[in-house]
């Protein structure tokens, strides 16, 4: 019965390098029998429809596409790339309520299984709070490389030690320190 299927809601950060890995994961989970809802921002859904047609977002009965607003004002150029900092800040502030409303709508639709899991891009952290409020299991998905994750995890320590930010383009001491840190990160990565 359809209502017994696990239902995963996937929320990528709206950029190609983030959407593609989560779409691959969504397809893999769907092939294993999960009901999937893939959530775009309205801006990126509209861009996709303009580029590929309405058929690009028409899924199957158990693989559906939804959209939520990102909170940014409309652009003069509907195909312009949005600034990363603007999208991050705006979704954090303005996407919480629409995402919560979407999950409530999905859970109250009779022919759709209840949402059992939210899998969101780590950059779309607003989803964590919403999932917790609604008692839904939530997983953060990291779309970058493992080496990139190690670097991000150590960034606060690099700042604390004064290694970053670079003090200037020709700061040899900073360059040597960065070179050392990169070598350490690579050594750690090789042991994983």
Enumerate domains of the chain plus CATH numbers: 7-141 (3.40.50.2000), 146-190 (no CATH)
Give CA 136 to chain center in angstroms: 17
pLDDT of residue 33: 93
* Cα–Cα dist 122/61, whole Å: 27
| pLDDT of 124 | 84
Residue 192's pLDDT is 47
Q: Which one, of 73, 12, 98, 93, lies nearest residue 48 by Cα?
A: 12
Residues known to be catalytic: 18, 121
Q: What is the C-alpha to C-alpha distance for residues 23 and 4, in angstroms, rounded to an integer? A: 23
What is the edge-to-edge ordering of all strands in the sheet holding 137-141?
63-68, 35-41, 7-11, 117-121, 137-141
- What is the pLDDT at residue 128? 92
φ, ψ dihedrals at 118, nearest 5°: -110, 125
SS3 state of residue 62: coil
Q: What is the mean pLDDT of each run of 10 residues along the chain (192 residues)?
A: 80 80 90 92 68 67 85 63 59 81 95 94 88 95 80 81 67 52 56 50
pLDDT value at residue 190? 55
The pLDDT of residue 181 is 58
């Amino acid at each position: 019965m359809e209502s017994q299927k696990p239902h995963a809601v996937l929320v990528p950060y709206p950029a190609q390098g983030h959407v593609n890995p989560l779409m691959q994961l969504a397809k893999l989970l769907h092939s294993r029998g999960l009901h999937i809802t893939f959530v775009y921002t309205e801006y990126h859904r509209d861009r996709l429809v303009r580029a590929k047609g309405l058929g690009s977002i028409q899924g199957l009965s158990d693989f559906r596409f939804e959209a939520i607003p990102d909170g940014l004002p409309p652009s003069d150029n509907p195909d312009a790339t949005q600034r990363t900092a603007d999208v991050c800040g705006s979704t954090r502030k303005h996407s919480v309520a629409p995402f919560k409303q979407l999950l409530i709508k999905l859970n109250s639709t009779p022919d759709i299984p209840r949402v059992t899991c939210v899998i969101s891009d780590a950059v779309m952290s607003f989803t964590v709070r919403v999932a917790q409020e609604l008692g839904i299991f939530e997983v953060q998905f990291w779309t970058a490389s493992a080496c990139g994750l190690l670097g991000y995890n150590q960034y606060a320590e690099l700042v604390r030690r004064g290694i970053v930010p670079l003090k200037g383009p020709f700061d040899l001491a900073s360059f040597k320190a960065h070179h050392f840190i990169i070598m350490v990160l690579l050594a750690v990565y090789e042991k994983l």
